[in-house]
Amino acid sequence: MMKNRLLLSIAVLVSSFSIAMAVSAADRENIKLTLTDKGFIPNKITVHQGQKLLIQMTNTTQKVAELESYDMKFEKIATPGGTITVFAGPLNVGTYTFFDDYSSTGVKGTLQATP
């Protein structure tokens, strides 16, 4: 009986967390990036100021990559063929840079937040 209550409590907790994460993601603008051997696609993004962002990047290269932005305060490693998700914002009006920190060729892109 005690074991069933514990399992039920864990299931409720996990469900609550999953619902909270889904609601949080729904409040954000979704941006999809692809990292290729030639760079980011797209490499220029425009969003409205104040918008929260969910950025998904798929690494189509055969190398490990790191999506990083000092301006938007994120960094995350993507394995070859893998997809990662980072969160940013809300952002003020301005230009923000993101890049592959592991790239020896300076792969980067920009995100413009407009009024």
- The structural domain count of the chain equals 1
CA distance 56 to 35: 11
In a domain, 24, yes or no: no
In a domain, 78, yes or no: yes
Percent of the chain with pLDDT over 70: 77
Q: What is the pLDDT of residues 3-45, one digit of tens each?
A: 555 545 555 556 555 444 444 556 899 999 999 999 999 999 9
In a domain, 51, yes or no: yes
In a domain, 82, yes or no: yes
pLDDT for 106 = 87
Confidence band for 52, pLDDT divided at 50, 70 and 90:
very high
In a domain, 5, yes or no: no
Are the C-beta atoms of residues 85 and 31 closer than 8 Å to each other? Answer: no
In a domain, 22, yes or no: no
In a domain, 15, yes or no: no
Here the tokens at position 12 are: 């409720």
In a domain, 107, yes or no: yes
Average pLDDT over residues 64-88: 98
Pick from 92, 63, 99: which is nearest to 78 by CA? 63
Q: Which of 11-15, 46-50, 82-86, 97-101 has the lowest mean pLDDT?
A: 11-15
**CATH assignment at residue 96:** 2.60.40.420
Domain that holds residue 44: 29-114
